A = this chain, B = another copy of it.
Amino acid sequence: MNQPFSSVWTREPRPARSATLSRAQIVRAAIELLDTEGLDALSMRRLGAKLGSGATSIYWHVANKDELLELAVDEVYGGITLPDEDTAWREAVSVFARSMRAVLLDHPWAAVLLGSRPSLGPNAVALVDRLMKVCRRAGFAGMAVDHAWSTLLAFVLGVTTPEIAWRAALGSTRVSDTELMKATHSVAEDAVRDHPDLAAHYALYKDMDIEASRAAAFDFGLTCVIDGLQVRLDRGDAPPSG
């Protein structure tokens, strides 16, 4: 009857002959703007200006702003290196996860969008397809296949999103790296007065490289997830039933 979602992906894009404005151009320009100026900076008027066209001209090629963002997000999905089907699954999964994190850190605006709407673009679907195959080859079957890859994806998304948030919050105060650390520490101390354990604990980070410690946290978590999947395989929790 009526299409339940009328997503960008169900409709076909406008012909885009030799026009001055094409969907691809629009999406590319939007991504540039998003990368350099952030999510809040993307307005149709600014995008139009960047493209040297009227703001509302964009609406010929794209139904609305949301749809444009969906397209941009799928483009980001496309930047993630798909794990090779033939490599050992632990390796494949690890490569994928690191790549996804790197891509999201390169396009900070994408993380929140990626989580806040279903991803049905071709790149997203291709990614899921590949992940599925990797998981199946690893030994998962039935619904456990989905559980496996979605666990992995959830971890990457869930760890990268706050990471980006912290970067943005700290980055907006222009200070040196060490100043930045002190700032973090002082704020933490302030918010934490009632939690001496926590406060004492964060003294650990006083002389740490913040980026390195984030990478370490990511590796730790990733290893956990992978080992956890391994446990499922070893125990035979992988078959269709569960």
Contacts and interface: CB of A to CB of B under 8 A. Distances in A.
Nearest to A157: B158
Interface stretch (A28-36, A45-53, A139-147): A139-147
A204 B117 contact: no
Contacts of A180: 4
A86 interface: no
Interface string A170-210: 10010100001001001110111011011001001100000
Contacts of A192: 125, 129
A187 B120 contact: yes
Interface in A69-103: none
Contact of A132 (B122, B164, B197, B242): B197
A67 to B, nearest CB: 13
Contact of A158 (B126, B161, B213): B161
A240 to B, nearest CB: 8
Interface in A215-242: 216-217, 220-221, 223-229, 231-232, 237, 240, 242
Contact of A223 (B118, B158, B232): B232
Contact of A147 (B121, B221, B240): B221
A231 B224 contact: yes
B201 A169 contact: no
Contact of A4 (B142, B186, B195, B197): B186
Size class of the contact patch on chain A: 35 or more
A114 to B, nearest CB: 8
Q: Which 7 pairs between the two chains have the least Cβ-Cβ distance? A: A158-B158, A224-B228, A154-B158, A151-B221, A4-B183, A228-B228, A154-B159
22 contacts: A4-B186, A112-B115, A122-B194, A125-B195, A125-B198, A129-B198, A143-B205, A143-B217, A146-B217, A147-B216, A150-B159, A151-B217, A151-B225, A155-B225, A157-B158, A223-B228, A223-B237, A224-B224, A224-B231, A225-B225, A227-B231, A228-B228
